[in-house]
């Protein structure tokens, strides 16, 4: 899919490059943040998100430009906790020697998701002058990412006693984790970025940029279902499937710092 986007983009943009009026510019922006959360086994694990975007643009007039863009992103986010039911057995077996289930006990499992990968797409930008050296810009974009391998990290809680489940005096009551379940994620994004730029030199500008509005569709599918983990990872409870988000991306990725080069 990424190769198809690049081929189509080259087909449509190549004739424009030959125009004498066209000027090429390169814009780079990025952000990285980290915070603490996801308390597991008494420890606090960090959650993070980082993204770097590159914009290769061609001026199409006094205030319009278009071009290709790429995005590299990496994240580790906390997912919603989920409960797992375990059977509780009676101390004595029945007349046939089988364990007797007397009830069920619920344990809370914590879950994290992490992934990283590249996306490619097209954009159209409108520049609005505020002063001699300052300007606003609106960037309308579409990005598509191929299948990228990620992981769910499952953190089981401390179990009250294995003797409550299977009579075993020497068994531990804490299950070490995390257990890992691999998945593939593909993402499509369409939206608008809002940026502010200050011209330091005729060929260099610095600025800030943030995602004002975007629509995101991501599809998460499992890669493996390790039988050894099936006792502790209820695969059917992991959040696979399609996700749709609509709104500003500021809360997720924050404000990005940008630098623009205009060598020509």
Instruction: Please tell me the distance from the alpha carbon of residue 137 to that of residue 127, in angstroms, as a whole number.
Output: 4
Confidence at residue 156, expressed as pLDDT on a 0 to 100 scale = 76
Q: CA 185, 190, 196, 198 torsion: positive or negative?
A: positive
Nearest to 74 by CA among 55, 38, 48, 112: 48
Cα angle vertex 13, ends 7, 17, to 5°? Answer: 130
pTM of the model: 0.76
Could you say which residues of the chain have pLDDT below 50? 2, 5-14, 16-21, 160-170, 172, 227-231
Identify the residue whose tokens are 């770097």: 52
CA 96 from chain centre, in angstroms, equals 52
Instruction: Please tell me the distance from the alpha carbon of residue 133 to that of residue 151, in angstroms, as a whole number.
Output: 45
Confidence at residue 234, expressed as pLDDT on a 0 to 100 scale = 60
In the chain, domain spans: 2-245
Tell me if residue 172 falls in helix, strand or coil.
coil
Which class for 156: exposed (0-12), middle (13-18), buried (19 or more C-beta within 10 A)?
buried
Confidence at residue 163, expressed as pLDDT on a 0 to 100 scale = 41
Tell me if residue 162 falls in helix, strand or coil.
helix
pLDDT tens-digit profile of 83-119? 877 778 888 888 888 888 888 877 778 888 999 999 9
Q: Residues 155, 40: contact at Cβ < 8 Å?
A: yes
Instruction: Please tell me the distance from the alpha carbon of residue 28 to that of residue 55, in angstroms, as a whole number.
Output: 6
pLDDT tens-digit profile of 31-63? 998 887 776 655 556 788 899 999 999 998 889
């Amino acid at each position: 899919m990424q190769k198809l986007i690049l081929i189509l983009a080259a087909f449509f943009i190549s004739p424009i490059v030959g125009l004498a009026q066209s000027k090429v510019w390169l814009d780079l922006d990025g952000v990285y943040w980290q915070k603490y959360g996801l308390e597991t086994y008494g420890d606090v694990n960090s959650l993070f998100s980082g993204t770097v975007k590159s914009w290769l643009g061609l001026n199409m007039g006094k205030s319009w430009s278009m071009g290709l863009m790429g995005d590299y992103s990496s994240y580790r986010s906390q997912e919603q906790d989920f409960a797992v039911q375990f059977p509780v057995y009676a101390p004595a077996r029945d007349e046939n020697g089988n364990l007797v289930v007397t009830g069920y006990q619920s344990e809370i499992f914590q879950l994290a998701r992490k992934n990283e990968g590249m996306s490619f797409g097209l954009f159209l930008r409108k520049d609005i002058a505020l002063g001699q050296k300052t300007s606003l810009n609106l960037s309308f974009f579409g990005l598509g990412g191929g299948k990228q391998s990620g992981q769910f990290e499952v953190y089981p809680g401390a179990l009250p006693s294995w003797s409550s489940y299977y009579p075993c005096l020497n068994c531990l009551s804490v299950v070490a984790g995390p257990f890992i379940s691999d998945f593939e994620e593909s993402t499509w994004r369409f939206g608008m970025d809002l940026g502010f730029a200050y011209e330091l030199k005729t060929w260099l500008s610095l600025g800030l940029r943030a995602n004002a509005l975007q629509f995101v569709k991501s599809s998460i599918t499992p890669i493996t279902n390790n039988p050894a983990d099936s006792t502790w990872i209820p695969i059917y409870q992991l959040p696979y499937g399609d996700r749709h988000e609509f709104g500003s991306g500021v809360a997720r990725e924050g404000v990005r710092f940008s630098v623009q080069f205009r060598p020509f």
